[in-house]
Amino acid sequence: MQQKIIENRVRERIQEAIQHSSELTPSGSAEVAFHMTDWLADPDRLVQFYSAPEQFSDQEIHKLLVNFLLHVPNHVAAAAVLLADFPVSDIFQVGAVRNDETT
C-alpha cells in the first residue's frame, strides 16, 4: 500500500512539473509520468540484490535481471521520445534496437 502511495505522489509531481515546464498537453504529461513511474518497484529489488548479492540464488538473480530488463527499458524509451523527442539508439551495436516491422 505504501509503495502505491509513493508511486502516485511521484507520478502526480512529474505530471505537474512536465505540464509547467514543457509544451506537452495534460495527457502527454500524464503519459510521461506513467512511463517514469510504472516500474518504480523494480529498482528496489535490484538495490536489495546490489546491497547483498550473496543472499540471492543464481535463479533469483536471473529472474530479477530479466524482469527488470523486460519492464524498464521500454518505459524509459517511451518517456524519452515523449518528453525530449529523443528515440533510443543502439550505441553499443548489439542489436538492442529493432524495427518492429522487420522482426
What digits encode the pLDDT tens for the residues 21-65? 999 999 999 999 999 999 998 998 999 999 999 999 999 999 999
> In this predicted structure, what is the pLDDT of residue 103?
45
CA 98 – CA 26 distance, rounded (Å): 30
Domain for residue 17, yes or no?
yes
- Cβ atoms of residues 83 and 23 within 8 Å: no
- The answer to whether the CB of 61 falls within 8 A of the CB of 44 is no
Residue type, 15: Q
* Domain enclosing residue 71, as ranges: 2-88
Count: domains in the chain: 1
pLDDT tier, 3 (very low <50, low <70, confident <90, very high otherwise)? confident
The reply to whether 23 falls in a domain is: yes
- The three-state secondary structure class of 50 is helix
pLDDT over threshold 70, residue 102:
no
The reported pLDDT for the residue numbered 55 is 97
Q: Is residue 21 part of a domain?
A: yes
Mean pLDDT to the nearest integer, 81-88: 95
pLDDT at 83 over 70: yes
